[in-house]
Amino acid sequence: MRILDRYIINSFLKILLFSLLTFLLISILVNLIDNIDTYIDRKAPLISILKYYLFSIPYTLILTLPIAMLLASLFSLGFLSGSNQLIAMRTVGVSLQRILLPLFICSFLISLFALTFGEFVVPPATNRMRQVKRVEIKKRPKRRVGVIKNLKFIGQEGRVFIFHRYDPEEGKADGVSIQTYHGDSLRSRIDASHMWWIDGGWVLRDGYRRSFPPGGEEVNHFRELRLALKETPSDFSRAQRSPQEMDFFSLRRYIRRMRREGEEVDREMVDLYLKLSFPLANFIIVLFGAPIACIKRRSGMAVNIATSLGITFVYYGFLRVGQAMGYNGSLPPFWAAWLGNLIFGGAGLSLLWWGRR
């Protein structure tokens, strides 16, 4: 890596880390002031309060990362522009695109990190944060799941469970259908009147077991059938996660099964594509903001912060407009999810081309 590349990246990362830390502390401070009465009234233990804010960090980081990325690019490149260092670089024959290349590579890698972090770290940490607030701070009992009617659960190894009625306290289901898929093909189906959790396993009674070999169907009646399934009563007690709470691969499997049942999946497809497009905001927003930061102008900290907030809010606006249009069918799911990225990415490339002149 060239000395110039290291210089630009180091300057960018220092401001990025400082911005993230600042946003994190402001978020915690505002939340603490807003909830201090609750902590005092409920006599919340200090350790519970610390745990609550610890588990809130991943969500806050992902939420504020695009703004921090834009701030870091505006301040780091604005300093180079204001001190005539950019002019010196271009005078010796370094193009604007080459100057910004390490910044674009760094922001793209950060987008990949945000994608992975948002898929595997943020959801469990956020759920744990809510649990700590409800049980340890507000002293409310854990949520008890009562009898569930018309339960549909997507299990492991291609299984789909459909219960007319499920009682988690007794570990009993009525009106049972267990469908097993391999890819898009239905391989087997079990229908039973009842299913119980007995001695660490599931026992089905009074039903039929069907298998679907190529070109035919085999049907067998049973009075009692014991199955070795990985799903336990606690798995069915949990409410089916919404598409926004699923990871990419779980949501994709969910969409495939909904399609097999003839259901509309436009909303879910928008959410699926957003899981890829939204983390790239960290790259797209730098692609758009970096050429603007290279324009030499006299601006202070307040102007850069206001510019960052304005650009970020406009980007989020396009993101939400595209999402809404995808939900109501005005745009195909792919274009709805990528609307903000395409507009800002195209504008960023245009600014880069204009900067060549």
* pLDDT of amino acid 102: 92
Structure tokens at 306: 């206001």
Cβ-contact 270, 55 below 8 angstroms: no
* Residues 210-223 pLDDT 10s: 998 887 889 999 99
Average pLDDT, the chain: 86
Q: What is the pTM of this model?
A: 0.72
Amino acid at 131: Q
Q: Which residues fall within 8 angstroms of residue 283, CB to CB, at 6 or more apart?
A: 104, 107, 108, 110, 111
- Residue 132, classed as helix, strand or coil, is helix
Q: Which of 51, 211, 213 is nearest to 125 (CA)?
A: 51
Identify whether the C-beta of residue 220 lies closer than 8 Å to the C-beta of residue 204.
Answer: no
pLDDT given for residue 99 in this prediction = 87
Query: Beta 201-211 vs 218-227: how paired, if at all?
Result: antiparallel
Does the structure show a pLDDT above 70 at 242? no
Task: Using the Cα atoms of residue 8, residue 13, residue 18 and residue 24 in order, give the sign of their dihedral.
Answer: positive
Alpha helices in the chain (DSSP H): 3-41, 46-82, 85-91, 96-120, 122-131, 233-237, 248-260, 266-277, 281-293, 301-327, 333-355
- 289-309 residue pLDDT tens: 888 888 755 556 677 677 777
From 332, 328, 336, select the one nearest 278 (Cα to Cα): 336
Residue 143 has pLDDT above 60, yes or no: no
Give the burial string for 291-320 (b: 16+ CB within 10 Å, else e): bbbbeeeeeeeeebbebbeebbeebbeebe
Q: Which two tokens stand for residue 67?
A: 């703004």
Q: What 8-state DSSP symbol labels residue 245? A: G
Residues 111-130 have a mean pLDDT of 89
The string of pLDDT tens digits covering residues 145-187 is: 567 888 888 788 888 899 999 988 788 999 999 998 877 788 8
Token couple for 94 = 């370094």
Burial label for 190, CB within 10 Å (0-12, 13-18, 19+), is buried
**What pLDDT is attached to residue 26?**
94
